[in-house]
Amino acid sequence: MTITIRNLKRRPGGRESVRERTYETDEINIGREADNDLQLLDLRIALKHAKLKRNANGTASFQMLGGQTATINGRLKTRDNNLKPGAVIRIGVYEIRIEEPNSPDDLTVTLEQTETVEAAITSADEERVFGLKRTLPGKRIMAWTFSLIVLGLFLAFPIWASKDNHKEAAKALPMQADLAWNSGPISLMHANLKSECATCHTKAFVPVKDQACVECHKQLGDHAKAKDMRQSKPEVSGFDAKLNQVSELFNRPIDRCASCHVEHNSRAKIVPSNQEMCADCHKNLDKSLPHTKLLNVSDFGSDHPEFKPSVITLPSFTSPTFTRISLDENPKGYSGLKFPHKKHLETGGPVAKMAGQIGGKFSTGLGSGVECADCHREEAGGALFEPVNMQQDCAVCHDLVFENDDGYARTLRHGEPDEVIASMRDFYQAKALGNIRDAEMNSRTRRRPGKAATLRDLNRRELAFKQADERTAAKVNAIFSKGGACFDCHEIDKPTDIATLDFAIRPISVNDRFYPKSPFDHESHKIGDLKCETCHEAKASKSSNDVLLPKIKICRDCHIGEKSYAEGGKLAEGTLPSTCLTCHTYHNGPHAEIMGGKTLGND
């Protein structure tokens, strides 16, 4: 397909000259710009004014660009039109006629300038020539004048007011000179420094130093070692690299505090939460930091490893050993306790029936099962839970009565085995002494005079203490053996010689923070009818060693990555975009080091 343009010019005396140009295309551009196929030199014509296209049926399509207009067959048009041979288009001082084609595959148009540009001057042109605007100074003079005014008011004047010998005079002025340099309101976190600019801006015309930040944030740790953070940063090139070099020249290193924490900027938060800030380094850690144990991650919804909770692998009364193990490996924790969740939560089971009979703290009816909230109480604020307490939680069902003394229940003290054994020995010895005293004080029993009575009393005492020791040993062995009060809940180490009663309870370490670096909040997860078993499969757990934490798949039902949007960029109902800072902290992270007066910007 071709388009032929006939450029018609009328010479003095009525002569005509025609120059033809053929384009091997089915579309040409029309406008004032030089790269148009049909260039029309008239200031009223746009740089890209219209397009002329040949149609398959022999007609032509005329398309206006950017809201431009044209006159077609004497009528002003603003929309696209299909034109037949003989149609006349008028744009500015030019006339375009659609001719009969030379061949079926050809579109022929004639271009003619029908009047001079001078003859087409409008009233707007006259206004520009004869209006009052001509009385104003030239653009160059006005530009220089306003530039000097700006420099005077917003540079020279604030510098003058900042000098020590001018400060008193500056205070008397109706405006504060350096307010002109304030780029925006200060953040809420630093609102107490609103009138104390010198706290951060310690030196004029010098960017805020990291040391000024450390003066207040003394115990704030770096995210990682300085050399590791520099090594893990993605390499930049081109314009970004040049920009970083210029920033360094003006004493603005790219890894200073103010690089991330932007003040005086109401459009950005002082603590940035965008995911890319973390993903820039963490998405390729295996390449940038080969020695690190951290895995690559760039988005919670699509590129995040399975959770690795800190599990107790070696219990201790004071310093248990924690090991991070992926939930994919089905880790087992060791608390030193025996507690089958399944037995306690089972509907219709013996525990449920007992709870129904006891009532009181239990919210369930007879046989309907114990609920999680019956033993797990929220801390103030609802973020975490209080530790389960024996006296407050377990003793409701698991009493520690070891002897019924004439209708009075004697209860063991919950604590160290030595204290338990000592308490039982004291009780049975005191019981034996009381029986002997009662026998000796019985006035109805006649005593034979002489040494025989004294020996008989000594024998009776010795026999009573021996029986007390035997009874103590039997009771102690019972409570530390299967079916006993201590054995049912604790791991017991029995002595080689039972007679020594040297029983020991293995260390107890109950983990209440599996993710010490993640600020998980249970209160914020109280949504609708969401229950504990939605995330924690406690009803199927037969051992207290089970780590009842949800895998990442469960969390992704509601939490999606910042960029993992549903179809069309819209969020599915009940989902929440989650960035890295939703669950993790930046400073004082897993590799944190106390600054000690040095930060990345000054290191």
Instruction: Write the DSSP assignment of 189-203 as a string of letters.
Output: GGGGGTT-GGGT--S
H-helix or E-strand spanning residue 312: strand 310-314
**Looking at residue 324, what is its pLDDT?**
92
Angle at CA 436, nearest 5°, toward 434 and 438?
70
- 3-state secondary structure at position 568: helix
With helix as H, strand as E and coil as C, how does 218-286 read? Answer: CCCEECCCHHHHHHHCCCCCCHHHHHHHHHHHCCCCCCCHHHHCCCCCCCCCCCCCCCHHHHHHHCCHH
Contacts of 21 (CB under 8 A, 6+ apart): 4, 5, 7
- The CA distance from 272 to 419, in Å, is 55
Record the tokens describing residue 449, joined without a space. Answer: 């005079």
- The CA distance from 233 to 303, in Å, is 19
- 3-state secondary structure at position 212: helix
- The CA distance from 377 to 394, in Å, is 13
Quote the DSSP letter at residue 512. Answer: S
Judging by DSSP bridges, how do beta strands 16-23 and 2-10 pair with one another?
antiparallel
**Nearest Cα to Cα of residue 2 among 36, 27, 19:** 27
- The CA distance from 58 to 77, in Å, is 21
Record the tokens describing residue 131, joined without a space. Answer: 């209006």
Place of tokens 């340099």: 181
Place of tokens 């008028």: 90
Place of tokens 């819209």: 570
Q: Please state, as a whole number, how many other Cβ atoms lie within 10 Å of the Cβ of residue 535.
A: 17
- The CA distance from 331 to 322, in Å, is 12
Record the tokens describing residue 154, joined without a space. Answer: 């917003």
Partnered with residue 9 across adjacent β-strands are 17
- Helix 451-479 and helix 417-440: axis angle, to 10°? 150
**Looking at residue 11, what is its pLDDT?**
77
Architecture of domain 2-127: Sandwich (2.60)
- 3-state secondary structure at position 29: strand
Q: Helices marked H in 283-440 — which ranges?
A: 285-288, 341-345, 350-358, 417-440
Contacts of 259 (CB under 8 A, 6+ apart): 253, 601
Partnered with residue 113 across adjacent β-strands are 94
Which pairs from 493-498 meet CB under 8 Å and 24+ separation?
Answer: 498/473
Identity at 310, one-letter amino acid code: S
With beta carbons less than 8 A apart as the criterion, state whether 23 and 37 touch. Answer: yes
Measured CA to CA in angstroms, residue 593 lies from 8, 16, 178, 191, 229 at distances of 82, 88, 38, 28, 12
**Nearest Cα to Cα of residue 580 among 280, 260, 221:** 280
Contacts of 564 (CB under 8 A, 6+ apart): 299, 300, 301, 302, 577
The structure's pTM equals 0.61
- The CA distance from 370 to 346, in Å, is 7
String of DSSP letters for 56-111? TTS-EEEEE-TT--EEETTEEE-S-EEE-TT-EEEETTEEEEEEPPSSTTEEEEEE
**Looking at residue 122, what is its pLDDT?**
60
Identity at 148, one-letter amino acid code: L
- Give every residue of the chain whose pLDDT is below 70, as ranges: 117-135, 266-268, 359-369, 435-457, 564-570, 588-603
Dihedral sign from CA coordinates of 474, 476, 479, 480: negative
**Looking at residue 30, what is its pLDDT?**
92
Q: Measured in whole angstroms, how far is the alpha carbon of residue 179 from the centre of its chain?
A: 35
**Looking at residue 153, what is its pLDDT?**
85
Measured CA to CA in angstroms, residue 385 lies from 21, 154, 165, 378, 511 at distances of 86, 57, 61, 4, 11
Identity at 553, one-letter amino acid code: K
With beta carbons less than 8 A apart as the criterion, state whether 498 and 481 touch. Answer: no
Record the tokens describing residue 40, joined without a space. Answer: 């029309």
Partnered with residue 72 across adjacent β-strands are 75, 89
Angle at CA 131, nearest 5°, toward 128 and 133?
80
With beta carbons less than 8 A apart as the criterion, state whether 590 and 516 touch. Answer: no
- 3-state secondary structure at position 112: strand
Identity at 187, one-letter amino acid code: S
**Nearest Cα to Cα of residue 532 among 424, 319, 301, 375:** 375
**Looking at residue 274, what is its pLDDT?**
81
- The CA distance from 578 to 563, in Å, is 9
pLDDT in tens, 444-495: 555 556 565 566 667 777 788 888 888 888 989 988 998 888 888 898 999 9
pLDDT in tens, 270-299: 888 788 888 889 999 999 998 888 899 998
Judging by DSSP bridges, how do beta strands 2-10 and 106-113 pair with one another?
parallel
**Nearest Cα to Cα of residue 109 among 154, 160, 66, 51:** 51
